[in-house]
Amino acid sequence: MSYECIIAEVRGDGERKTGLITLNRPKQLNALNDQLMDEMGQALLAFDADDSIGCIVLTGSERAFAAGADIPTMAPHTFISAFKSGLISKNWETILLIRKPVIAAVAGFALGGGCELAMMCDFIIAADTAKFGQPEIKLGIIPGAGGTQRLPRAVGKSRAMDMLLTARMMDAAEASTAGLVSRVVPAEKLMEEALTAAETINGFSGPSVMLIKELVNLAYQGPLKDGVAVERRYFHALFGTDDQREGMDAFINKRKPGFTQS
Ligand code: CO8
């Protein structure tokens, strides 16, 4: 499959590999338009359906992960045209359907829709050059892809209000302290770090990986009691898998496990 606004490639030489998606509109700082979001959605769905892929890394360029939704494309909309066409939303949430982990590797600007896209990934590894922000207020609009909902969950109400209302950017160090990103690394090490994390995940049992993702999202989105109840059922269910027997036998016999379920 050939794409114009992204690059999709397979990385790694283990049994399970990593799907790497690079946003590729460098002149527009990877501003997110319909074509890019359609292509990214197609690539994500293809990697998710491919048993040889364990997890996915989503990245941009050194200068920008993504500087937001494409402003010139959005500018002419009226309320009615935005509402009737479901402005951008039809292809923005494909990423939420993906059951394998999606790691965001962020360098440079992650602004507006770019920050929202990073927050829709399962975790964010940031280069020390990363800058996060929701500057929509400067354009006379508000975030439209979950920014007002996910940012407070990630960084707390006060910091989220500050960022959303003043449009100030958060650098990588602050994003780490605030809990928006899981780790910060020197820019030149970003891809190595993200691909190594992906490779680690690829080595684990596929069902465990997918269930952890599903359950953490349940914790993040829903009530505690429901999440714990579903977790208990899945915990029991994993005792029906070969990988559980393999993992525990390997521990008891002090050897490295060889997981087989993708
Ligand atoms: N859209 C289109 N083009 C952009 C965007 C963008 N969001 N951001 C930057 N560009 C373009 C610039 O126009 C410029 O193009 P050109 O060279 O042709 O003039 C090029 O990228 C480089 O940008 P700058 O010259 O401005 O570079 P600087 O280093 O001076 O500044 C900034 C970089 C700070 C990133 C600056 O470009 C900027 O502020 N960009 C806009 C950021 C922004 O406001 N983002 C939010 C957009 S709104 C949004 O994302 C809403 C999401 C809603 C989702 C709804 C789903 C349902």
Dihedral sign (CA 253, 256, 257, 258)? negative
Q: What angle do CA 153, 180, 176 make, to 5 degrees?
A: 140
Instruction: Judge whether 174 counts as a catalytic residue.
Output: no
How many other C-beta atoms are found inside a 10 Å radius of the C-beta of residue 1? Answer: 7
Report yes or no for ipTM above 0.85. yes
Please determine, looking at this structure, whether the domain spanning 206-252 carries the CATH number 1.10.12.10. yes
Same fold for the pair 6-202 and 206-252: no
In this structure, the residue with its CA closest to atom 52 of ligand 1 is 113
Q: pLDDT of the chain along its 262 residues, tens only? A: 789 999 999 999 989 999 999 999 999 999 999 999 999 999 999 999 999 999 999 999 999 999 999 999 988 988 888 888 877 667 888 999 999 999 999 999 999 999 999 999 999 999 999 999 999 999 989 998 999 999 999 999 999 999 999 999 999 999 999 999 999 999 999 999 999 999 999 999 999 999 999 999 999 988 878 878 888 888 878 888 999 899 889 989 999 999 998 8
What are 183's strand-pairing partners? 125
Contact predicate 127/107, CB 8 Å: yes
- pLDDT for residue 71: 92
Note the pTM of the prediction, 2 decimals. Answer: 0.94
Q: Two tokens at 134?
A: 């929701």
Q: Is 160 a catalytic residue?
A: no
52 to each of 16, 32, 261, how far by Cα in Å? Answer: 5, 28, 11
> Is residue 113 annotated as a catalytic residue, yes or no?
yes
Each as own residue / partner, the long-range contacts of residues 137-142 (CB below 8 Å, 24 or more positions apart, any chain) are 137/164, 137/165, 137/167, 138/167, 139/71
Q: How far does the centroid of ligand 1 lie from the alpha carbon of residue 39, in Å? A: 20
Choosing from 64, 69, 107, 198, which is the catalytic residue? 69
Known active-site residue 114: no
Domain boundaries, the chain: 6-202, 206-252
- For a mutational test of ligand 1's pocket, the pick from 71, 74, 139, 150, i.e. the residue with the most ligand atoms closer than 8 A to its C-beta, is 71
Q: Are 139 and 88 in contact (CB under 8 A)?
A: no
Q: Which residues contact 243 (CB under 8 A, 6 or more apart)?
A: 205, 207, 208, 257, 259, 260, 261
CATH architecture of 6-202: Alpha-Beta Complex (3.90)
Q: What is the pLDDT of residue 80?
A: 84
| pLDDT at residue 89 in the model | 64
Cα-to-centroid distance, 67 and ligand 1 (Å) = 5
Residue for token pair 């992960």 = 65
Residue among 60, 113, 133, 206 flagged as catalytic: 113
Cβ atoms 70, 112 nearer than 8 A = no
